[in-house]
Amino acid sequence: MASTQVNPTRMELTRQKNKLKTAVRGHKLLKDKRDELMRQFLDLVRENMELRLKVEAGIRSANTNFVIAKAGMSEPTLKTALMTPKQEVYLEVDKKNVMSVDIPVLEYKTRTADANDIYSYGFAFTSSDLDGAVKSLADVLPDMLKLAESEKACQLMSAEIEKTRRRVNALEHVIIPEAQENIKYISMKLGENERSSQIRLMKVKDMMLEETHHYKEKAHERAMENS
Partner 1 sequence: MYKIAVMGDYDSIYGFAAVGLDTYPLSDEKEAEKQLHQLVLAQYAVIYITEEWAAKIPHAIDKYKDQILPAIIQIPGVSGNTGKGVENVKKFVETAVGSDILFSNNK
Residues lying near partner 1 in the complex (CB under 8 A) are found at 38, 41-42, 45-46, 48-49, 52-53, 55-56, 59-60, 62-63, 66-67, 78-79, 82-83, 85, 87-93, 95, 102-104, 106, 108, 110-111, 118-120, 133-134, 137-138, 141, 144-145, 147-149, 151-152, 154-159, 161-162, 165
Q: Distances in Å between the alpha carbon of 14 and those of 23, 34, 129?
A: 14, 30, 79
Q: Shortest distance, CB of residue 24 to partner 1, whole angstroms?
A: 24
* Angle formed by the axes of helices 215-226 and 176-213, nearest 10°: 50
C-alpha span between 15 and 193 (Å, rounded): 19
Cβ-based nearer residue to partner 1, 12 or 151: 151
Cβ-based nearer residue to partner 1, 63 or 197: 63
Q: Shortest distance, CB of residue 58 to partner 1, whole angstroms?
A: 10
C-alpha span between 81 and 195 (Å, rounded): 96
Q: Shortest distance, CB of residue 137 to partner 1, whole angstroms?
A: 5
C-alpha span between 73 and 81 (Å, rounded): 11
